[in-house]
Amino acid sequence: CYQMYARSKTGLSPEIVKFRQGDDFYIEARDAFYILRPEAVESFFILDRLTSDPIYREWGWEIFLAIERYCRLPVAYGSRADVHDTDKLPSDRMESFFLAETLKYLFLLNDPDTDLDIVNKHVFNTEAHPLRLLEEVQPLDLTKLLPTGAGDTLQQKDITTVMGHEDIGDTREELRVAEQTVAAQAAQLEHWKTKMAKMNDILDEKEREIHRLREALRRQQL
């Protein structure tokens, strides 16, 4: 991955490289564009945390400098149509993953004192949002997610320890009751919606009747 960046004139990676059997990679003209992708620097960040080898931070810094030099625009960053063309300006288009992922990984790669610990405490989702591992998460009180009154049928000591509990069988019946309660409340809500719709129809008819009476009264006065 690093060589895909290092061998181009801009220091940026083409979208695709191809290999011939027993030979080095090559780039076709149609694949020479760069759209600020994060995958390489994401890999450097993970390898840096796993190995503590400073080379990955150096590679990330080189890529960051290339982005600054060849992709920066007055208000943002843009893609490049050809990583070998150092003269053409970047296009007026920036993918959202550049801010969400590429810059985030470059920042973390150069921040060895960050609290994020991908070995023991955290994991990143596909859009580079850090999440704590489940064993690092405090027990969740599920009754707070239920409608008012539904939690009364649940045993608080069981439901608040579901997260990380080895045996959740004791709470299945309570959860089933809660689901029935929610379903009943939903059915009641639909009933009142139907009733309100009928009342609106009646009110509309009354308004039309008042309008007819007013028109009739106006004609008599004329």
Show which residues are catalytic: 15
For residues 78 and 10, give the distance between their C-alpha atoms in angstroms, rounded to a whole number: 14
For residues 185 and 207, give the distance between their C-alpha atoms in angstroms, rounded to a whole number: 33
Contacts of 3 (CB under 8 A, 6+ apart): 25
| Packing angle, helices 39-51 and 55-70, rounded to 10 | 160
CA distances from 184 to 147, 152, 180 (A): 11, 15, 6
Greatest C-alpha distance within the chain = 102
